[in-house]
Amino acid sequence: MPRIVESGTQRIPWRLLIIGVLLGLASPWIYFTFLMVNLEDVIKIGIAPIMLTSSLIIIRLLIQGLRFYTFIKGSHVNFNPKIRECILVRIGSEFVAATSLSYIGDELVRAGYLIMRGLDSGKALWISYSETFYDVFMGTSITIIAALYIILMIGDITLGSILLMITLPILFFYLFIFYTGLTGRTFSHTFEYFHDKVGRSSLLGKMINWLKETYSSFSSSLRLYHSSLNKYVILLNVFLTMVLSIIYGLTVLIIYDAGGVRLEFFESLLAAYSGVALGVLPITLGGSGTTELGISLYIHSLKGEWAGAAVVAWRLATHITTLIISFVFLMFSLPLFMKKTQPAV
């Protein structure tokens, strides 16, 4: 089996991550400059709201670790996952997401951990993808509502259209992967066609065969997880995903309320996921600040205020907290990638 995923996690691109960290740490100072915010304005937000928001982010990270564990258990792997290990790896992978491309780097980290536990690449990728699919489906659904709300209620067609143009292709892409996997379509004719064209014994031919086997395992794992045996696990993970969304919306509500911008929880939730829509653009690193830009644009459209101090405070309470906590967890989880267990089915 090619070691694409495995080697990708054992050799973490530290240089790229360092660039991401520096960019993430520089973003608040960029806000200071362009939004004409000074440190006193941020201090006026208050330590209590920032600490409360940071605490919510830590709780959110722990819930993500718990959900990762339930996805593994629901996939019926032939090893006994430990909650502590799952939380370590899941939170540690957030450091990669926060300093590189979202929904790519962190998935490879989690898939690498599962491969080291003995899973084949298809099953490992399914478990990593499953979390992302739930997040994407929940997040894009909220963002679509946010776009329609801003168009119909506020009349901001430009921002609403941008959100829809970003969100709909992402949603359709993940739904396509989910549908083809769930229906068991293996694209065997396509794989066979390319096999014949490039030669089965060639390096490219072996790569195509690996992709075929990986997708077949991915598809069977997806169908097994969504069988009637797992209905309670599925409901639990849907519930946990909803809790994660609520917590994320609360972080915006708390900080902006402390900054003098009165929001309803519904509005803060829409603003939070409007920011996520910009934050997951494939052309941006996770720490580049586009999430904050999206939140600011949405709240400005709603309330007519930029609230620069709140932007910086939210950034410090969420992104910086995530960087610190996830880096610590990543360091503790690294030994888990060095010890490979026997293959599991």
pLDDT in tens, 128-144: 889 889 999 999 999 99
Say whether pLDDT at 237 is over 80.
yes
Does 31 or 244 have the greater pLDDT score? 244
pLDDT attached to residue 190: 74
pLDDT attached to residue 244: 97
Please report which confidence band the pLDDT of residue 281 belongs to, taking 50, 70 and 90 as the band edges: low
Helix (H, G, I), strand (E, B) or coil at 260: coil
| Tokens coding 100 | 């590189």
pLDDT attached to residue 137: 94
Say whether pLDDT at 242 is over 50.
yes
Please report which confidence band the pLDDT of residue 76 belongs to, taking 50, 70 and 90 as the band edges: confident
Among the residue ranges 96-105, 232-241, 299-308, the one predicted with the least confidence is 96-105
pLDDT attached to residue 233: 92
| 184 C-beta neighbours (distance < 10 Å), count | 11
| 238 C-beta neighbours (distance < 10 Å), count | 13
Say whether pLDDT at 2 is over 50.
no
Closest CA to 225 of 94, 125, 135: 125
Between the alpha carbon of residue 324 and those of residues 46, 101, 259, 328, 331, the distances in Å are: 21, 18, 24, 6, 11
pLDDT attached to residue 6: 44
pLDDT attached to residue 9: 44
Which pLDDT tens digit goes with each residue over 149-161? 999 999 999 999 9
Round the average pLDDT of the chain to a whole number and report it.
84
Using a cut of 0.85, tell me whether the model's pTM lies above it. yes
